[in-house]
Each structure stands twice: as C-alpha cells, then as structure tokens.
Amino acid sequence: MRIEQDLKLDFKDVLIRPKRSTLTSRSEVDISREFVFLHSKQKYKGIPIIAANMDTTGTFAMARALAKHQLSVALHKHYDDAELLAFFADQPEFPPSFYSMGITQPDYDKFRRIMEQSNGTIKSVCVDVANGYTKAFISFIHKLRAGHPDITIMAGNVVTGEMTEELILDGVDIVKVGIGPGSVCTTRRMSGVGYPQLSAIIECADAAHGLHGLICADGGCTSPGDLAKAFGAGADFVMLGGMLAGHDECGSDIIEVNGVKKMRFYGMSSREAMEKYAGGVAAHRAAEGKEVLLDYRGPVEGTLQDILGGVRSACTYVGARKLKELSKCTTFIRVSQQLNEVFGSV
C-alpha cells in the first residue's frame, strides 16, 4: 500500500485567472485546431470537441448536426454493418467521425468486415475500454496498428502519464483520459478507482506532448467553463456525453413525467445498457453506470452555441486569439473547499 501526497485537482477546484488582452470581441477568437496525427499522418482541421460514443449521444443524427460546426462524433458501437456502411459512404473528410469498437474478437471481425466492404472508408477509430491498463488492451492496440497503419487511433481510458506514454509509443494517436468523472459513471463509487480529472489532463497532456502525441479529455465537463479549463490544462480534444444529451439528435425517446418532457441518459456500463445489448449484467461483474432522466432540450443547436461561445469567451479573458494558445495563457487559481460548498461547481 502506498499513499501519494501530491495535490490533485478537479474542474470544480479551480478558476482561470483573467489577464490583459488586446481582443475586443469573441468573434476574433479562432477555436479550431489543425493537427497532423503522429502515427496515421492524417491531417485534422476542426473544432476539437467530440460527442461521446454512447448510444444516447454518439448517433448519426448528432454527427450530422455537429459536422455543421466542425465538431466530431465517436459513434456508438451498436449500429449494424449496413447502417455504418451507409453512413461512412457519405462521410465528409473533415471533421472525422470515429468508428467505435471494443477489444473482443467479434469487435475486430466486424471492423475488418466493414473496412473490406467499404474499401477502407473509415479513417478514424475509437478503441474504448473502461480499463486501459490491461495487457489485453495493449495487445489489441498492437494488432490494430499493425493491420491498419494508416488509420487514426483514439484509445483509452487511462489517467496517468506513464500509461499515456506507453499507448503513444504503441501506436495510439489520441489517448483518451478519464476514469470515473462522467455524470452517469459510477466506477469511483463501485470500485474506488479514479483520478481527479483536471490533474489527469495536466499530467497526461504533458506526457503525450513530449512524444508529439495528443490527448482527449473524456468526462467531467458539466458547463462550457469546464471545457475551457480542460483546454487550458492542455487537452487537445474534449469528449462530451451529458452536456449533449437530452436533445432531438440523441438516440432516446421523449417521455412525460408529471407533464414535463424527459429523455433517458445512461452510462454504457449501466444495468440499462447491459440489459439492452448483453442480456443483463454478467454474474462476474457489477454495473458501473446509472440511468437518469434529463429535461428534454430540443435541438442541439442552442447548446452548441453556449458551448462554443463559452470557450471563445474564456479565450478573450486571457488574451488567447487562438484555441491552441489557451493553455499557454492559462493560470489556474485554486478555489477553497469552503467556497465550493457555498457556491457549488464553478
């Protein structure tokens, strides 16, 4: 047993300190990014925000809505072959939609089948597991990279610098960072495992950038200010689930509760998801997600305006004319626990 004494922070623990700026309007801020991925050598241009690969957010409808604003989607992995082939046949070059997969043999067989039938249309893949520290996960990354050297691989999840470095050296272009911070994830409560998300981003970004790799902060953002903090901490991409849930573009029915329209939102390791796709929770495991009912929020367009406007606003407060400058301009101020209790998440 070992206890680490170093300070670790979450989004709620900090604010971004304002600085002198020559910017006179949010319209002057460019929040798009351009990357050349380390291993695939593919070029990316867009706003580096990705809808999470949950069946309530990683939908075709969400992909089409977000593409209008140069945002991306990691599609959920439960679409069938025909649906995926039809979607990727019409997929524009930028920004990319990520094909999502697990690490089982059926996952790999399905991916190979679709790649063969589409003549290699899929350019970006999200390999998603709850625990990115297993030997099986690393072995799968080796196999995927060896078989498909030209695809962009986003993979995770991990929360430490050393594992981020290993994944990049093993062929991952974008390391997905976050264990347990999501609003419908119960991993921390069920297993006691996790890491404060802001510190995870800072440490994993530092490790990745030293090897010319990238990270995607996955989970924990509940407001546009949290995205600004994630980008300020060094995240190259930010993945959103709950902030994009409850909209028309989500794969969920609208229900009425006491006269109020609601939509279901649940984690992909929840009992609800496992009953839907696996016939229930296996005897050897426990559910590590939950279901909530969110207020119906209509089209996602209004939420996107809030998100993008909030990030632009953060840039004006610190003098960052481009999103890529935000981390260099960011100074975090710790917020006391007493203030957190009084004012809540900031």
Per-residue pLDDT at 33: 97
Higher pLDDT, 276 or 206: 206
Residue 171's pLDDT band, with cuts at 50, 70 and 90, is: very high
The residue annotated as part of the active site, out of 152, 164, 185, 221, is 185
Per-residue pLDDT at 251: 79
For the chain, where are the alpha helices, taking DSSP H only? 60-67, 81-89, 105-117, 135-147, 161-169, 187-191, 197-210, 224-232, 271-277, 301-318, 326-329, 337-343
Residue 285 has pLDDT above 80, yes or no: no
Catalytic: 185? yes
Alpha carbon distances (Å) from 150 to 35, 38, 121, 125, 172: 15, 11, 11, 11, 12
**End-to-end CA separation in angstroms for the chain:** 34
CA torsion, ordered 43, 174, 221, 246, to nearest 10 deg:
70
Per-residue pLDDT at 280: 63
User: Cα separation of 275 and 282, whole Å?
Assistant: 10
Per-residue pLDDT at 165: 98
Q: What is the pTM assigned to this prediction?
A: 0.92
Residue range 133-163, pLDDT digits in tens: 999 999 999 999 999 999 999 999 999 999 9
Residue range 328-338, pLDDT digits in tens: 999 999 997 64
Residue 27 has pLDDT above 70, yes or no: yes
Residue range 44-55, pLDDT digits in tens: 999 999 999 998
Alpha carbon distances (Å) from 184 to 33, 81, 133, 222, 288: 29, 28, 22, 12, 9
Residue 346 has pLDDT above 50, yes or no: no
Catalytic: 164? no
Per-residue pLDDT at 93: 62
N residues, the chain: 346
User: Cα separation of 169 and 331, whole Å?
Assistant: 30
The residue annotated as part of the active site, out of 59, 152, 187, 330, is 187
Residue 282's pLDDT band, with cuts at 50, 70 and 90, is: low
Residue range 222-236, pLDDT digits in tens: 999 999 999 999 999
Alpha carbon distances (Å) from 254 to 31, 60, 78, 277: 33, 18, 21, 21
